[in-house]
Structure 1
Amino acid sequence: MNDTLLWLLSAALIVAGLAGIVLPALPGTILVLAGIVLGAWIDDFTRVGAFAVGTVTVLAILAWLMDYVAGILGAKRAGASRQALIGAAIGTVAGIFMGLVGVLFMPLVGAAVGEYMARREHGQAVRVGIATWLGLMAGMLAKFVLAFMMIGIFVVALIF
């Protein structure tokens, strides 16, 4: 395969990965990592060596962990029930079909509905929904930061 096509595929994987940070249907940082590893491979790991790829891999793992931990921590901190966590997961999946607004806000709705079903208390349901949403947004922000760090390490390794 032509190197130009491989570089385009590498860039496409990275861009798709950045989109995947917001869209839960795409494995964001894993796609960014795949694009970076492909870019390193195209160059026979000459400019982007084992240290850079290893560092980027650690950041990708950290971002993946952050994705799962952030929302749960936000919910648990507000005293969320198991139903609220399940509701947030269902809301996240449902949000995929509603565009960007759905992706951003359906986890809040799902967590609040799940908490209300568990405890039948409006105030607690709203607190849990907001706390879950804030946790998910913090996790998304952290993933963006880590993904751009990964890309920065890759670009610096390619240039220098």
Structure 2
Amino acid sequence: MTPMPATAAVRVRRAELSDLDDLVALELASFASDRLSRAQYRRHLDSDSALVLVASANHRRFLGTAVVFFRKGSKVARLYSIATHAEARGKGVGSALLQAAESHARRRGCKELRLEVRTDNAAAISIYERFGYHRIAELPSYYEDGADGWRYAKPLRTHREKA
């Protein structure tokens, strides 16, 4: 893949079945454990309780993905996963995906977005805190490989509530 120019516009859209190969490849490249399988992605693409987003630039170039879960009757959405291609990191892809996840959760009536992050993932923690997420819980041995995690949350205010 050629390097992404810093000025490339990042577009975020709902994933489609045609994105499945790219989703699985990025999952394998991004995570050593706790991965979503091809079958899980396929199920999430057709689910009302899941939203799979993809970020792209320059005519559908696949740069990253985010997976958001919604529970019926709950006002809390969960950002399950967010990943970007290595060469796209630091270029606004993660931020664009996070903003889109928040926007979709707001539109579905959610009042809060929660996520879990490995305690050793300083880059992700920095983005989450910059976007107003607050640590609400410690998660000892949370990940498949025994790594510790933290749970973060952010209230999702509507435009009227911000004023």
Q: What is the TM-score when the length of structure 1 is the normalising length?
A: 0.25
Q: Which has the higher strand share?
A: 2
Q: What is the TM-score when the length of structure 2 is the normalising length?
A: 0.25
Q: Which has the higher helix share?
A: 1
- Structure with the greater alpha carbon radius of gyration: 1
